[in-house]
Structure 1
Amino acid sequence: MFEERLRGYIAALEDNNIEVDKKLIIKGKFSKEFGSTFISNLIKKKIKFDAVSAVEDFTAIGALLELNNNINVSEKVGVIGFANEPFGELVSPQISTINQKSDFIK
């Protein structure tokens, strides 16, 4: 399922004539800790980005928390997750998330 999301992301970039920057595609564990670590690494390497699209909400939350430690997130970086977990409402700013209806996925 996660590879399908990556293919969709790449296809959306290509459909809009946006170059795919492989250094911005980071694969790892799906956890809050990983989200925090990958954002920290991007910032340390001075890699510019204006959005984070995580394959699930745990990673998105970790990314958002790390961003909050470094910049004013609401003005500079959008964060989106996937699954619409209820805990996404507990952070500020709230993450955007895609509602995953697991019972319909085959």
Structure 2
Amino acid sequence: MGRDENFFDLGGNSLLLVAAQTAVNKALGCELGVVDLFTHPTVRALARHLSAQGTAAPAAPDAASGPAPDAPAPAHSGLERAKQQAERQRAARSARRSAQQRKDRRHG
């Protein structure tokens, strides 16, 4: 998910948004509301909103240096799980449409 990609354009829905809300609140130790996520559906907009509230996000590791050698492997975040679920839902819808189209051709 890029900084300027809209959560909903990527297949996000209100149920996934609640999962993302929980993940953000847990990761940042804040009390971000669902309305905040609806209002700020991109990473960039949400970061600006959190910055304006004074909620500091953990610093990202420097891409050149990579993670610290003794750093644990990152666990799947709620946002990552939400993205994966949205991708699975899109694939399932596409498969259903293809199956329906094949059925229509056979009977048409």
Report the TM-score when normalising by structure 1.
0.33
More helix by share: 2
More strand by share: 1
Greater gyration radius: 2
The structure whose RCO (Cα within 8 Å, separation 6+) is larger is 2
